[in-house]
Chains A and B, each alone.
Chain A
Amino acid sequence: MVLKPSDFKTDVFADWCPGCGDFGIMTALQMALAELGLEPHQVVLVSGIGCSGKEPHNVKAYGVHTLHGRTLPFATGIKVANPELTVLAIGGDGDGLGIGAGHFVNTGRRNLNITYIIHNNGVYGLTKGQASPTLKLGLKTKAMPEPNINEAVNPIALALVAGYTFVARSYAYDVKHLKDTIKAAVQHKGLAFIDALQPCPTYNDINTREWYAGEDRKDPQTGKPQSRLYRLEETGFDPVVHNSGEELEKEMSAMMKAREWGDRIPIGVFYKNELQPTFVDRIVNRIPFYRTNPPAKQRISDENGESTADLSEFFNDLRTS
């Protein structure tokens, strides 16, 4: 059965502000899932809180809308219990890089085969516009009483050093690019991170749709706006680690790209490395049957309700008579 993006829609009203980037991300997600040939029950969307946290309710797939910052731990538990599931974690920039920063970094150490999409709009929307960890130092969006006193964290650079093996950026209003990026992330063997740039039409009056589109920097010749976003794939940039000898070089060139911001902002895949063992591979090394018989699939009791566990080996170690 071939599913269409509309098969991944629910009838829940999406209550984001008009013009919110979340609409684009939701649409790209639904399209990607359909094009990947997945069925709704095979997919689990795990979210944090805030505006982006509501997204799973608008997608027909298993949805787990969790706590502020805890998206990745929930996703980890789900995936480890049943590695057959396609697990996507979605959350805001504050969720993943502020309150959940410890999970962001430590999940990188496991290379679990899940996809994490951060909705990056520079503000805490649902609490009415405070600075998020990705807002640059000195900027003052409209609801802030004073300019931002903190420097911004660089999500791409942080993902690279934390050990994410697929690191990409896309843009909420470039739905096709985002859809393709999500597809590539889900198909990646390992932990994938997407920094999804997204205007907040209500609270971020600096990094607006017009700002990304370059309305303020029209080509003097043609009078056309010059978009700040450019595609890495169109510059011949090769993010793929083809052999282990290339790891450092690829990571460094990704890091250089990660530092670009302002008038030229790269989108696309910064880094992709499938040579690292995934968390599932590592568990299989210890528990050989894990892939076929993971925790969620094990038969723990027989037809009489008796536990299938035989404790005799435990007891033998402790036995005194």
Chain B
Amino acid sequence: MKEVNWMAGGPQGAGVDSAANIFGRACGYGGLYVFGRREYHSNIKGLHSYFHLRVSQNDVLANVNDVDLLAAFDAESVLRHLGEVVSDGGVVVDKDQLTTKVMGIPTLPPEFKEEVQKYMTQKGLGESLSDFLADAKKAGVHIYEIPYMDLLKTVAAKLKIEQISKVTRMINVLTMGVSFALLNYDLELVEKAVTAVFSEKPKVAEMNVVALREAYDYTKKTFTEAFPYKLEKTEVMEERIFVSGNQAVAMGKVLGGCRIQAYYPITPAADESEYLEAHEILKTRGGEGGIVVVQTEDEIAAVNSASGAALAGARAATSTSGPGFSLMVEGLSWAGNSEVPLVITYYQRGAPATGLPTRDGQSDLRFAVHAGHGEFPRIILASGDIRECFYDAARAFNYAERYQLPVIHLIDKAMANCSQTYQLFDTGHFKIERGEILDEAKIKDHPYKRFRFTNTGISPRVVLGTKNGVHWYTGDEHNEFGHISEEPQNRIMMMEKRMKKLELVDKEVPIKEKVNMYGDASAENLVFSWGSPKGAILEAMDMLKAEGFGLCFMQLRMLHPLPKEYVGNLLKAARKVIDVEGNYSGQLGGLLKEETGVEPDYHILKYTGRPMTTTEVYGALKNILGGKASERQVLTYGS
């Protein structure tokens, strides 16, 4: 089977998400691998959103530029994505929309209209949607004009529903029925997916199945000529899940023992907290388990409540995005000074300010590294895919408690809102490491010294409420008991005590938890990156390898403290060093230069708010390897 790229597009609120979820699951049930990317506006209803799903019998790690079958709920989706449809691909379109005057679509922003106008003039196109489709048809694209309204009427009749408005929400399911019929996929698997997605609303599931069948049968009957792309189910021997980044983080936190999450709603982080709240009673071995999710009044309250909970002995976290983290910074500094095991999950989005609130970005690395007044130790982790989101979310708590410091877990929106099929995550090898926590019997100092000077810088910890362990915390500089001290000698010792914990992290945490190496270790050229570009880089490397270009890829997973000796040696040994990341200035490249003295020779950057695709990373790397690239290539794909 050739891989299939399916895209569903429609106005927000029209069920693009659930369509994609159903589509992905249905493919998963047939043993296929799926990578799905969700794009949406900062808007509740009406503006354009889409889901791009890539399906294959082999593992898929990122999107590509192509769309093989576009399932458009509305005219704008056709207009937005027609150019991405491959020449032998297809477009599913509402017959009633064909006469739509494209410049009259009210949701089009002026900048986009200008582009469309230019395109129309260039190509000499008419102003109806059908003119655009006719043009695509000339290039070989199959156009499937579907009478959505007629089908809905039939569905309503079958369901004995009189008001047509009660079934119009099911346009999304119609497009799926059409798509799966064209792709010649097993309808039973799709029905199973519908039932699973609407498991809590059996009535809705039933209605959707009727609509699905109607569209599927109509398509089979009406379009007898085979569509060139097919989905073929395959045997699957392993257990798999179809999971998003938000869900993976939530599950990782539960595995890691997080029992309090304080948060303030923000995109794209809030889905994680809501998912946790929906699962607040946990299944646990030996004793009851539950996670308390507290929605606070702002991010300042969120981070400080989490710190308070951590001092009381619970594994505690907060979850936010750039604007929220900005408000958390003073709290972060307090946590660093008071050696609080605090976990902050930081979902980056397009910035600065409100920026591109629902889009991707990787422009907060330097902010995370430097946030907070003063100097204090912290650990910064960055996951590169959804599986890593899961393990890093769990591991963050071990680091936080072992080294008694804040851990910032960086994710970017591209992972948060992407969904991917994975072999069931193995939880067996993960161990909880709580560091040194003293109960009443183990307290040797009387009175107890919370900030006792030790060789490692780590003072055995007592949680609030422990008998004979009374101690103090303060945002001021403090002595070993936690009382305020402005004495210079004590200050030196406390600064050194805190900061040397980073040396311990450097020494103790194995390099495999900090850096992932991929590709050809002996290759002379090295690519480095962090976060979501990982999948596109790996796939691009495979394509280049097939063409005889070997590359070595270093994915940084612990960005602070940087394993600078290890990284420095690799960078120094490489002939060409290529930096790939989703920001304007090449932030990781800059950090590596500071830490190792090696400056990247090339930058591949993207800051459109859309994640990198395999296609464009491949192209950019090939330009470099072919000696045709400028020092800085900026990627632009995606609407």
Contact = CB atoms under 8 A, between A and B. Distances in A.
Interface of A: 10, 12, 39-42, 44, 46, 49, 54, 56-57, 60-67, 70, 72-78, 80-82, 84-85, 102-103, 105-106, 283, 286-287, 289-290, 293-302, 304-315, 318-321
B301 A298 contact: no
B605 interface: no
Contact of B25 (A306, A314, A320): A320
B292 A84 contact: no
B240 interface: yes
Contacts of A314: 247, 250-251, 254, 279
Q: What 3 A-B pairs come out closest when comparing CB atoms?
A: A77-B308, A320-B28, A300-B257
B331 A309 contact: no
B427 A60 contact: no
Determine the main DSSP class of A at the interface with B: mixed
B305 A80 contact: yes
Given A41-B465, A298-B289, A308-B286, 18 more contacts: A64-B473, A65-B484, A70-B330, A81-B259, A81-B260, A81-B309, A81-B313, A293-B289, A295-B290, A295-B316, A299-B286, A300-B315, A305-B431, A306-B432, A310-B283, A311-B255, A313-B283, A321-B29
Contact of A46 (B308, B310, B434, B470): B308
Of the listed residues B25, B427, B432, B465, the one surrounded by the most CB atoms of chain A closer than 10 A to its CB is B465
Interface in B448-462: none
A28 B428 CA distance: 53
A12 B481 CA distance: 11
Nearest to A72: B301
B331 A296 contact: no
19 contacts: A41-B466, A62-B465, A67-B330, A73-B300, A73-B304, A74-B304, A77-B310, A78-B309, A78-B312, A80-B294, A80-B309, A103-B300, A296-B309, A306-B430, A314-B254, A315-B425, A318-B241, A320-B25, A320-B240
Given A67-B334, A287-B292, A308-B289, A295 B309 contact: yes
A294 B29 CA distance: 39
A321 B28 contact: yes
A308 B300 CA distance: 31
B294 A318 contact: no
A82 B472 contact: no
Contacts, number: 256
A289 B281 CA distance: 10
A77 B312 CA distance: 8
Interface residues of B, number: 86
A300 B257 CA distance: 5
Interface in B231-245: 236, 238-243
B323 to A, nearest CB: 16
B464 A44 contact: yes
B331 A81 contact: no
B445 to A, nearest CB: 15
A208 B544 CA distance: 80
A123 B236 CA distance: 71
Contacts of A56: 472
Contacts of B286: 299, 302, 308
Contacts of A305: 431-433
Nearest to B192: A320
Interface string B245-280: 001001100111101101000000000000000011
Nearest to A61: B470
Contacts of A63: 471-474, 482
B239 A319 contact: yes
Contacts of A61: 470
A321 B305 contact: no
Nearest to B288: A289
Given A41-B470, A287-B290, A308-B289, A70 B238 contact: no
B465 A296 contact: yes
B1 interface: no
A72 to B, nearest CB: 8
Contacts of A312: 283
Contacts of B289: 293, 298, 300, 308-309
Given A300-B432, A308-B286, A309-B283, A80 B292 contact: yes
Contacts of A66: 304, 334, 473, 475
Contacts of B469: 41
A46 B475 CA distance: 12
Contact of B259 (A44, A295, A310): A295
A106 B255 contact: no
B304 A295 contact: no
Nearest to B282: A309
A64 B311 contact: yes
Given A67-B331, A82-B314, A106 B284 contact: no
Contact of B301 (A84, A106, A313, A321): A106
B296 A73 contact: yes
A78 B464 contact: yes
Contacts of B240: 319-321
Interface string B94-111: 000000000000000000
A82 B314 CA distance: 8
Of the listed residues A66, A294, A321, the one surrounded by the most CB atoms of chain B closer than 10 A to its CB is A321
B292 A42 contact: no
Contacts of B536: none
Given A81-B308, A309-B255, A321 B314 contact: no
Contact of B254 (A57, A105, A309): A309
Contacts of B512: none
Nearest to A62: B464
B476 A65 contact: yes
A290 B466 CA distance: 19
B421 interface: yes
Contacts of B471: 62-63
Given A85-B464, A302-B285, A77 B262 contact: yes
A284 to B, nearest CB: 10
Given A66-B334, A74-B307, A320-B421, A310 B285 contact: yes
Contacts of B279: 313-314
A296 B312 contact: yes
B215 to A, nearest CB: 23
A298 B28 contact: no
Contacts of B468: 41
A299 B302 CA distance: 24
Contacts of A10: 483
Nearest to A106: B297
B211 interface: no
A306 B431 contact: yes
Interface in B472-525: 472-476, 482-484
A192 B464 CA distance: 21
A298 B290 CA distance: 8
Of the listed residues A46, A72, A289, A315, the one surrounded by the most CB atoms of chain B closer than 10 A to its CB is A315
A37 to B, nearest CB: 15
A18 B236 CA distance: 79
A76 B334 contact: no
A289 B288 CA distance: 7
A298 B259 contact: yes
A73 B305 contact: yes
B254 A290 contact: no
A75 B308 CA distance: 6
Contact of A49 (B310, B424, B475): B475
A74 B464 CA distance: 13
Interface in B46-75: none
B118 interface: no
A39 to B, nearest CB: 8
Contact of B465 (A84, A106, A311): A84
Contacts of B611: none
Interface string B161-172: 000000000000
Given A12-B483, A70-B304, A77-B316, A301 B463 contact: no
Contacts of A39: 467
B31 interface: yes
B601 interface: no
Contacts of B304: 66-67, 70, 73-74, 77
